[in-house]
Amino acid sequence: MTMMMLGVMILLLLAGFPMMMPLLAAAMMAFIVYMPDLSLQMVVQQMIGGVKPSALIAVPMFILAADIITRGHSADRLVDVVMRFMGHIRGGLAVSVTAACALFGAVCGSTQATVVAVGGAMRPRMLKAGYNDSFSIGLIVNAADLAYLIPPSIGMIIYGVISGTSISELFIAGLGPGLLIIVLFSLYCIWYAKRHNIPVEPRASWAERLVSIRRAVWPLGFPAIVVGGIYGGIFSPTEAAAVCVLYALLLEVVVFRSIKVRDIFDIALSTSAVTSVVFILIAAGAAFSWVLSYAQIPQQLIAAIGLDEAGPIMTLVAINIAFFIGCMFVDSVVVILILVPIFAPLIKAAGLDPVLVGVLITLQVAIGAATPPFGCNIFTAVAVFRRPFIDVIRGVPPFLLILLVVTVLLIAFPQIALLLRDLAFR
């Protein structure tokens, strides 16, 4: 049964079908061949059930908020305030890119939106300052991964819904690894700038810094709403997403006046197209996962590769390797939908904290977004910067190595992720 499902998926993918079709076709084929006594309505029920959790409402909300602020002035103001404080140190411009990606990720939760917004503003400045184009693009593409770890994170929302893990706990647990990545990326950027003798930017006066802070006060309200609102008990992650949309509209339409009311329809149309793809994938993945679980395929696969008696460390290593490889070739949502149910029995048997597992999975999803051959950030950069694929990926390896080091550190020292979670919820 497993080989048949895998064969159907591979054939349809090679034929050029979108990912939702292989998932549904494999599930339907297995259902018809191996479960003839069950009603076909079960598949439809599982698909509807897959998109039914109320927490998923946060996904289109955060996508819509990201679309609004990407077309507005928020990104430029966030980048400017970071540059005023960091631009004068050696490597400060590159460090500013990392910090700006973190701030913008805290606003939108989308890696691709971060590549567009921060990369569009900062890459020309880096080239003018003397940075190599491959280094500049590599930094932007990988620093955008911070949008997956620093709340809000669409990947964490989907993992939380599938695994039944608290999304609020996942959000706060992502802060520790996110801050660690910022520090390591910044240290590498400083070393790179010194090695290549990159000139420093002029030091901004305190008057200029205060002006930039004043201009960025409104955009900095986004992370305050998400983090402060959730952990202050004011609203849930789903409600925080809705508030973010309202805040983004008020900011860009009323305060900054960067978007006209007539533009909202086009923005909503763009969001609906992206959301439709995500939710169809989730529905198809739910049916696929149910067939896997009903046929006890996860238990069979785990026993076949000898992981049924693996300890916690070996289990974490296996999970990270599986997600790292999977996200190199397939969309991250699909990988989460397929692999989380497969590893769920193993995670429970090993006694692992599902929040720690969720952070590690989200990190691998983030890495996959910037890893050849099919990382979505890479293709976004190819389209936005109009550079060949080879030029875009040339600067990726050093940052990929740093992200893998962070993965190892998280496995060895789980408190990097769990300390803030324990302080907030234990």
pLDDT tens string 315-332:
899 899 888 888 877 777
Residue 110 φ then ψ, to 5°:
-120, 125
Specify the long-range contacts of residues 376-383, CB closer than 8 Å, at least 24 apart: 376/111, 376/112, 376/331, 376/332, 377/111, 377/112, 377/115, 377/141, 377/142, 377/144, 377/145, 378/141, 380/112, 380/115, 380/116, 381/115, 381/119, 381/137, 381/140, 381/141
- pLDDT, one tens digit per residue, over 180-222 is 999 999 999 999 999 999 888 788 888 999 999 998 888 888 8
Other Cβ atoms closer than 10 A to 129: 17
Between CA 330 and CA 328, with CA 357 as vertex, the angle to 5 degrees is 20
Residue 195 is predicted with a pLDDT of 92
Residue 299 has pLDDT above 70, yes or no: no
User: Using 50, 70 and 90 to split pLDDT, how confident is the model at 305?
Assistant: low
- Tell the burial category of 21 from Cβ atoms under 10 Å away from its Cβ (0-12, 13-18, 19+): middle
The residue assigned the tokens 């460390």 is 313
Quick one: angle between helices 133-143 and 397-412, nearest 10? 30
pLDDT confidence of residue 166: 92
pLDDT band at 143 (very low <50, low <70, confident <90, very high): very high
Which pLDDT value is given to residue 31? 79
How long is the chain?
426
On average, the pLDDT of the chain sits at 85
Burial class of residue 3, CB neighbours in 10 A (0-12, 13-18, 19+): exposed
| CA dist., res. 222 & res. 213, Å (int) | 15
Q: What pTM did the predictor assign?
A: 0.83
Predicted confidence band at 178 (pLDDT cuts at 50, 70, 90)? very high
Question: Above 90 in pLDDT, residue 116?
Answer: no
Predicted confidence band of residue 304 (pLDDT cuts 50, 70, 90): low
For residue range 221-263, list pLDDT tens digits in order.
887 887 788 777 788 888 888 888 899 899 999 999 889 988 9
- Average pLDDT of 43-68? 85
Enumerate residues 6+ apart whose C-beta is below 8 A from 265: none
Q: Worst-scoring range by mean pLDDT, 213-227, 283-297, 390-404?
A: 283-297
61 pLDDT above the threshold of 80: yes
Residue 152: the pLDDT is: 79
Question: What is the mean pLDDT of the segment spanning 43-69?
Answer: 84
pLDDT at 67 over 70: yes
Q: Which residues contact 11 (CB under 8 A, 6 or more apart)?
A: none
Q: What is the pLDDT of residues 89-111, one digit of tens each?
A: 888 889 988 988 888 877 777 78
Cα 300 to chain centroid, rounded: 30
Residue 308's pLDDT band, with cuts at 50, 70 and 90, is low
